[in-house]
């Protein structure tokens, strides 16, 4: 039997076990070891990309039956309602990156359906830097800080656009005012990659997904973004959380563009190229449903950071296409989640799918006949500049001026050869754009010299 003093000592774990009052601390103190090790291993490994993010929860309901195009159960009849989880994120940077930085915003949605989990991974810009997943690690390297001093390096960023002419369309989008955002309630979402819908009769369509904010679209200028980065670097996350906490639901409409795969033979570009968009006049947006985000996470670490998205989480009637970026992503995402969360990540509550097994995964293309020579090759119709030109010409005079200022203020700090190549690419987009960028860079250079 312990006496009262002994019981008090046994229950007092606010002190390490020592020899006498001063110590030293004993290696045998398992309470100390367990306390410290529990602390060390209590945090989840950060994501390699899309590190900083915010989450919200709610529901999705179908407003228009898509039975004609897909056999996915939750899209068959109107007013079907299912739970959803959403994570908004910054594609590059770290947990301290300001929300208003020039960046790609991730917009990933998990649908918890009766048939299983469907993950729809979107970005707030409709195009990507490259068209082949094998180039993605190099892109991430260019978007990362210098390995020498861990500081932002303009040369690393701008040499990306010099190295990959296909990234020029992304340059038009990212360095317009659409690259700077202060509210996640006011951004669009695009699947970027092309998926496939298959109906009950086995007919397939290419599909691109679009989210449209019901509160309207808003972007900010580079000047406002830089000011807010100092005043409130977490403004987008705070805005999302506070609005939901006040009872103001955040809503988005889901639309799709559908294309007959045979159209690929007639288009001047490859519709599976992630550096391209589809003409909305030729392939109009069809309304599908509405998403309502109406409650915040109760435990961020468990409900948001442990969300393990995977573009291969599909359902019967929802498949992935031959899009090279998408196919690469379907391989690496589950591996990344195992590395980050452990091999049992699918049993974490927010990822749990009842009775899951590998046989639950949807393999794309059953019934298709595919033949050809195995090779490593560029696509037949790369066309790196036509859509970049179209995007530039769609801007107003003020938007063109902001684009020039945004490009020039960064490009001025790159190496001369990199500047030359990027300006040559801009020349392909618009001689006027390239000339204005050159002139603006000269003004910046004069200012720096003074």
pLDDT tens track, the chain, 450 positions: 445 555 555 556 889 999 999 989 999 999 999 998 988 888 888 998 999 999 999 999 999 999 999 999 999 999 999 999 999 999 999 999 999 999 999 999 999 999 999 999 999 999 999 999 999 999 999 999 999 999 999 999 999 999 999 999 999 999 999 999 999 999 999 999 999 999 999 999 999 999 999 999 999 999 999 999 999 999 999 999 999 999 999 999 999 999 999 999 999 999 999 999 999 999 999 999 999 999 999 999 999 999 999 999 999 999 999 999 999 999 899 999 999 999 999 999 999 999 999 988 888 888 889 999 999 999 988 999 999 999 999 999 999 999 999 999 999 999 999 999 999 999 999 999 999 999 999 998 877 766
Contact 85, 57 (CB under 8 A): yes
**Residue 259 forms part of a structural domain:** yes
Question: Both 71 and 116 in a single domain?
Answer: yes
Residues 327 and 415 in one domain: no
pLDDT of residue 8: 52
- For residue range 102-128, list pLDDT tens digits in order: 999 999 999 999 999 999 999 999 999
Largest interatomic CA distance in the chain: 91
Does residue 142 have an active-site annotation? no
Note whether residue 42 is domain-resident.
Answer: no
CA pair distance 354, 185, nearest whole angstrom: 32
pLDDT at position 1 is 43
Among candidate residues 5, 15, 50, 295, the one labeled active-site is 50
Average pLDDT, rounded, for the chain: 94
Task: Look at residue 311 and tell me if it is in a domain.
Answer: yes
The question of whether 50 is a catalytic residue gets the answer yes
Catalytic residue among 123, 296, 313, 406: 123
Question: Residue 212's beta-bridge partner residues?
Answer: 253
Same domain, 176 and 218: yes
In whole angstroms, what is the distance from residue 12 CA to residue 5 CA? Answer: 11
Q: How far apart are CA 306 and CA 53, in angstroms?
A: 12
136/188 same-domain check: yes
Look at residues 301, 333, 353 and tell me which one is the last residue of a structural domain.
Answer: 353
92 lies in the same domain as 188:
yes
> Which residue, 340, 272, 314, is CA-closest to 49?
340
- Between the alpha carbon of residue 217 and those of residues 155, 376, 427, the distances in Å are 32, 40, 30
Q: Examine the domain organization and report whether 337 and 409 are in the same domain.
A: no
Using only C-alpha atoms, the chain has a radius of gyration, in whole angstroms, of: 25
Is 284 within a domain?
yes
Q: What pLDDT score was predicted for residue 5? A: 54
Total domains in the chain come to 2
pTM for this predicted structure: 0.93
Q: Are residues 317 and 416 in the same domain?
A: no
Whether residue 390 sits in one domain with residue 330 = no
d(CA 313, CA 360): 9
305 and 436 inside one domain: no
* Domain that residue 137 falls in: 52-353
Which H helix or E strand runs over 124? none
- Kindly state whether residue 302 falls inside one of the protein's structural domains: yes
Q: Are 349 and 394 contained in the same domain?
A: no
- Structure tokens given for 418: 């990199």
Q: Let me know if residue 67 belongs to a domain.
A: yes
Could you list the beta-strand ranges (E) of 233-371. Answer: 250-259, 286-295, 318-320
Q: Is residue 68 part of a domain?
A: yes
How far apart CA 292 and CA 85 sit, in angstroms, is: 10
Residue 289 lies in a domain: yes
Q: Are residues 311 and 411 in the same domain?
A: no
Query: Both 263 and 403 in a single domain?
Result: no
What's 122's domain CATH number? 2.40.180.10
């Amino acid at each position: 039997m312990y006496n009262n003093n002994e019981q008090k000592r046994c229950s007092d774990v606010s002190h390490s076990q020592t020899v006498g009052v001063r110590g030293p601390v004993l290696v045998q103190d398992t309470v100390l070891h367990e306390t410290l090790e529990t602390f060390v291993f209590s945090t989840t490994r950060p994501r390699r990309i899309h590190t900083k993010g915010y989450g919200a929860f709610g529901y999705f309901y179908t407003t228009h039956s898509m039975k004609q195009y897909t056999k996915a159960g939750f899209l068959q009849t109107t007013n079907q309602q299912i739970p959803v989880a959403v994570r908004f994120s910054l594609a590059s940077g770290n947990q301290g990156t300001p929300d208003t930085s020039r960046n790609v915003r991730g917009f990933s949605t998990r649908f918890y359906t009766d048939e299983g989990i469907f993950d729809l991974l979107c970005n707030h810009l409709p195009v990507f830097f490259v068209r082949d997943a094998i180039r993605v690690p190099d892109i991430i390297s260019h978007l990362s800080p210098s390995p020498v001093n861990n500081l932002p390096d303009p040369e690393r960023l701008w040499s990306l656009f010099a190295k990959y002419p296909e990234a020029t369309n992304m340059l038009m989008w990212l360095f317009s005012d659409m690259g700077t955002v202060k509210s996640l309630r006011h951004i669009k979402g695009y699947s970027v990659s092309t998926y496939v819908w298959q109906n009950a009769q086995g007919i397939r369509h290419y599909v691109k997904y679009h989210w449209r904010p019901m509160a309207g679209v808003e972007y900010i200028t580079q000047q406002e973004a830089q000011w807010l980065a100092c005043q409130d670097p977490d403004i987008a996350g705070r805005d999302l959380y506070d609005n939901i906490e006040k009872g103001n639901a955040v809503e988005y409409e889901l639309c799709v563009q559908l294309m007959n795969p045979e159209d690929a033979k007639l288009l001047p570009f490859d519709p599976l190229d992630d550096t391209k968009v589809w003409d909305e006049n030729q392939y109009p947006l069809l309304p599908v449903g509405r998403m309502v985000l109406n409650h915040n996470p109760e435990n961020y670490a468990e409900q948001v950071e442990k969300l393990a998205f995977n573009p291969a989480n599909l359902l019967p009637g929802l498949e992935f296409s031959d899009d090279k970026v998408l196919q690469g992503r379907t391989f690496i995402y589950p591996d990344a989640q195992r590395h980050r969360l452990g091999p049992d990540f699918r049993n974490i509550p927010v990822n749990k799918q009842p009775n899951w097994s590998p046989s639950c995964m949807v393999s794309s293309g059953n019934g298709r006949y595919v033949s050809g020579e195995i090779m490593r090759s560029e696509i037949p119709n790369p066309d790196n500049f036509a859509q970049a030109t179209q995007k530039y010409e769609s801007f107003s005079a003020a938007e063109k001026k902001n684009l020039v200022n945004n490009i020039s203020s960064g490009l001025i700090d790159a190496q001369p050869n990199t500047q030359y190549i990027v300006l040559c690419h801009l020349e392909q987009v618009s001689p006027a754009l390239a000339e204005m960028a050159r002139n603006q860079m000269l003004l910046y250079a004069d200012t720096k010299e003074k």
